[in-house]
Structure formats: structure tokens, C-alpha cells
Amino acid sequence: MNRIESVKNTKVKQWRKLHTKKEREATGTFLIEGFHLVEEALKRKEIIRELIVSEEVSLPSSWNVDDLTMTIVTTEVMKAISDTETPQGVAAICEELIPTNIDSWQKLLFVDALQDPGNLGTIIRTADAAGIDGVVLGKGTVDLYNPKVVRSSQGSIFHLAIKKANLQEMLHIYKEKGFPIYGTSLQNGVSYKEIKPSTSFVLIMGNEGSGVGQDLLAKTDQNLYIPIYGGAESLNVGIATGILLYHLRG
């Protein structure tokens, strides 16, 4: 077991760099924190490169971590690598998650240029709950491994197959397969209530301000809206995703 006491240690500097998207992409790794998230990651042990544990913390006896590389750090080091104000004392370096079962996806969620990390995390958690097979993140969408995305996904990033890809190309693939492709739009389109649930579909959710790009909306089978009955101008994009996914999956 390794032990690190100085925040100036090279490894600590390396871990801290994982707060930036650039470093996450360069290394193909990301940092997670907290008991719940690390426990979820342990279910996919092969992606954990290293556990980082504060010296004052005891790991739950149910955790089977003997075969993992573990580094013990001081509270000060943990604080230095943490993105939260009150670190729980356990963290892990994980390898980027690569979905392997793409050909069998039946229910898909495409995310176009979504910007808020809390929204993306909640949407991933919701898609996981709704039994969606795969999420495809398009260009301009906040980085999946942003600490706030990971945190608000509440571990669902480890359950759900998620892929970064060109949405135009992906849309084309599923259109060829005959899946119904649903865009979402505040203007035009049909109420989601008119759509019958189905076993396979693609739903496209978009940016908080500007919605789904026109280039995508033009290629869908139908564009859906959620009726607004009161005085609100719109729904939060996470809420809208929940209503639509639970309706479409039936």
C-alpha cells in the first residue's frame, strides 16, 4: 500500500489535473469521490485503476478491494484533490467507460449540446431509472466526467451505456434500422400524448436555452412538445426528459 502525505507529491498534482476536461481526455481517466459513487464503481471493478483513501477513514467491510491498488493519503491531500467542500475521505481513479453492447440498444436518448452538469447528471439518472439502453452525447454537451455530472448521476454513469458521438450520424443509423426518431421542440410538433409507447425509439433532448438543433429536428420522424397548462414558460430539461421517457417506454 502506498502512502502520500504531501500535496506537492507528483501523483497528487496529477489527480488534481483530472478536474479539467483536457486532462481527463488526455489520460482517458476520471476521478470520483464519496462512498456511494465508489461503491457503484466497484460493481464495475475492471475500470478502477486506483482507490484513494484518507488515513482516518475505514472502508466498509463489505467492500471487496484487496485486489485493487490503494493509496492512503492525509486529510490535507484528500482535500486538495476533492471537488467538494467536505470530502468523504474516499475517492477513485476510473477509466473512461466504453459501451460494448451498442448493437442491441432499443431505447435510446440523444443529448444535443446540453450545458448544465447538474442537468446532464440528473438526465442520466433518469434514463437509467427508465430502463433506457443507451445515451448518446452529441457535440457541445458538457463533459460526462465533469465531477458535477458524475455526482448528480448518483452512480448511474456506471449502470448505463453512454457514448459520445456525432448525433447526425447516429440518427442516420437508427433511422436505417427503422426506429421512430423523436425530436423535442417548444414550437411546432405534436403533443407527446399522441405518441404510442414502443419497444424501440430514439428521443432527442437539447440545449437548455435553444433546444435541439434545427439540423437534427429536420431529420426526425416527429417532434414532440409537452403541453404547458399554467403560467410557466417551459419545463426544466431534466423534468421534460423524465416525462417523455416514461411515456415513450410505456
CA distances 62 to 39, 59, 65, 92, Å, are 10, 8, 9, 17
Among 71, 82, 122, 220, interactor with a copy of itself by CB under 8 A: 122
- What are residue 71's DSSP bridge partners? 2, 52
Name the residue nearer to a copy of itself (CB basis): 179 or 192.
Answer: 192
Report how many residues bind a copy of itself under the rule CB under 8 A.
33
The Cα angle at residue 182 between residues 177 and 186, in degrees rounded to 5: 165
Q: Which amino acid is at 99?
A: P
Query: Minimal distance in Å, beta carbon 41 to a copy of itself?
Result: 13
Name the residue nearer to a copy of itself (CB basis): 31 or 160.
Answer: 160
Query: Minimal distance in Å, beta carbon 162 to a copy of itself?
Result: 12
Query: Minimal distance in Å, beta carbon 135 to a copy of itself?
Result: 11
C-alpha span between 240 and 225 (Å, rounded) = 9
Task: State the DSSP code for 179.
Answer: -
Query: Can residue 128 be called a binding residue for a copy of itself (CB under 8 A)?
Result: yes
C-alpha span between 109 and 131 (Å, rounded) = 11
What is the side-by-side order of every strand in the sheet holding 48-54?
2-4, 70-73, 48-54, 90-95, 29-33
| CB contact at 8 A, 104 and 133 | yes
Name the residue nearer to a copy of itself (CB basis): 74 or 200.
Answer: 200
Q: Which residue has the cell 486532462?
A: 23
Query: Can residue 125 be called a binding residue for a copy of itself (CB under 8 A)?
Result: yes
C-alpha span between 94 and 225 (Å, rounded) = 38
| CB contact at 8 A, 124 and 245 | no
Name the residue nearer to a copy of itself (CB basis): 202 or 216.
Answer: 202
Site string for a copy of itself, 130-169 (x = CB under 8 A): xxx---------------------xxx-xxx---------
Query: Can residue 195 be called a binding residue for a copy of itself (CB under 8 A)?
Result: no
Name the residue nearer to a copy of itself (CB basis): 67 or 194.
Answer: 194
Query: Can residue 38 be called a binding residue for a copy of itself (CB under 8 A)?
Result: no
Query: Can residue 229 be called a binding residue for a copy of itself (CB under 8 A)?
Result: yes
Name the residue nearer to a copy of itself (CB basis): 147 or 238.
Answer: 238
Query: Which positions touch a copy of itself (CB under 8 A)?
Result: 122, 125-132, 154-156, 158-160, 226, 228-236, 238-243, 246, 249
